[in-house]
Amino acid sequence: MRVLIDTNVLISAALSANGIPYQAYVKAASYPNHGLICEQNVDEMKRIFNKKFPKRLYPSQQTKTGRNHKSGMQMTVPF
């Protein structure tokens, strides 16, 4: 099933792996589902992260990909 992931869920999941938004993201992005985001999601995420969470984007300037330490699941935000 294709699942469009809401921007609020993406942002909340990126900020914390301990909540329901992260669980929703994992479920949407896991088989048999196919998690989707659209260009508007990416634009909105850029705008919100740059405005509200600028230091959370690239704290070490090493990578644009976040890896969750618990599940090992990777969340890539194409900025």
Q: Over 90: is that where the pLDDT of 26 sits?
A: yes
Q: Over 70: is that where the pLDDT of 48 sits?
A: yes
pLDDT of residue 61: 46
- Of 2, 23, 27, 3, nearest to 13 by C-alpha is 23
Contacts of 11 (CB under 8 A, 6+ apart): 45, 48, 49
Q: What is the Rg, in whole angstroms, of the alpha carbon atoms belonging to the chain?
A: 12
pLDDT of residue 55: 76
Mean pLDDT of the chain: 78
pLDDT of residue 39: 92
Under 8 Å between Cβ of 49 and 13? no
Q: Which residue has tokens 């260009």? A: 39
pLDDT category, 27, cuts 50, 70, 90?
very high
